[in-house]
Amino acid sequence: MGSFSIWHWLIVLLVIILVFGTSKLKNLGKDLGGAIKGFKEGMKEGGESVDAAAAKKVEESKQVAGSTIDVQAKEKS
């Protein structure tokens, strides 16, 4: 049986168009494209927030490194 030829795929596409109609397929394509776009934007924003959190930690560690802490050591009994 093997794989489908181009004629098989064209017949499948024709049946799908007849069943769903072009307007539903057009709306489905828009929805899918919008979902992919939203996902990419979310991934980009997520990466930026992680970078901002890392930068904040580095800044906090610089502040601690520059200050002097006065402590007194005691021997544990």
CB 25 within 8 A of CB 16: yes
Residue 10 has a pLDDT of: 92
Residue 20 has a pLDDT of: 85
Residue 64 has a pLDDT of: 55
For each successive 10 residues of the chain (77 residues), what is the average pLDDT?
82 89 86 91 75 71 62 80
How many angstroms separate the CA atoms of 71 and 9, rounded? 77
Residue 75 has a pLDDT of: 85
Both tokens of 6, joined, read 């181009």
Contacts of 5 (CB under 8 A, 6+ apart): none
